[in-house]
Structure 1
Amino acid sequence: MNTFLVLLIIAAAIATVVMLVRGIIAFLQTTKEELNSTDTGPSASSLKQNKMMFARIGFQAVAVLLVALLLLMNGGNR
């Protein structure tokens, strides 16, 4: 069971890094025209950045919860 949790933690950590990189790439692809736009509401680029960063937060939360679960399970095994 512990090995399975460790693998899930590694997968969640990798997913966190992938979403972080995708969010940064979306941020870097923002054009000057989008920044100077007078349109009301968020641009497509802003929505994509927001989506990537919320996904990162979700994967990060899953990784933290899995680490906490692993620590709780091994707390009595000293």
Structure 2
Amino acid sequence: MLRDDPLFYVVVAAVLVVLAILMIGIGGFAKGGEFNRKHANRLMRYRIIAQAVAVVLILLFVWLRRGMI
């Protein structure tokens, strides 16, 4: 079962981190102003890095769990 697998929770946490960064970036873009000018590029870089980590973790999870049903 997926709930018994600690790697599943790591993958979920990584995806939620990506979602949080994305929501902060979208909120800053929508609001505009000083926050967006100051942090937009940094948030984009953080999102891309977090997304890459999440994809690697998802692939690792699938690779380790394939055929173990």
TM over 0.5: yes
* Alignment size in residue pairs: 66
Please give the alpha-carbon distance, in whole angstroms, between the structure 2 residues aligned to 1:57 and 1:69.
18
Q: Which residue of 2 aligns with 1:68?
A: 59
Bigger radius of gyration, 1 or 2? 1
Runs of 4+ residues over 4 Å off in structure 1: none
Indicate the percent of aligned positions where both proteins have the same amino acid.
Answer: 29
The TM-score, its normalising length taken from structure 2, stands at: 0.76
RMSD across aligned C-alpha pairs, in angstroms?
Answer: 2.1
Extract unaligned runs of 5+ from structure 1.
32-42
After superposition, where does 1:1-78 map in structure 2 within 5 Å?
3-31=5-33, 45-77=36-68
Deviations, residues 13-57 of structure 1 (Å, cap 9, x unaligned)? 1111110010011112224xxxxxxxxxxx763340111121111
Please give the alpha-carbon distance, in whole angstroms, between the structure 2 residues aligned to 1:44 and 1:70.
36
Q: Measured at CA, do residues 44 and 26 of structure 1 come closer, stay the same or move farther in structure 2, by a change above 3 Å? A: closer
Extract unaligned runs of 5+ from structure 2.
none
Please give the alpha-carbon distance, in whole angstroms, between the structure 1 residues aligned to 2:35 and 2:15.
27
Letter matched to residue 69 of structure 1: L
Please give the alpha-carbon distance, in whole angstroms, between the structure 2 residues aligned to 1:67 and 1:50.
26
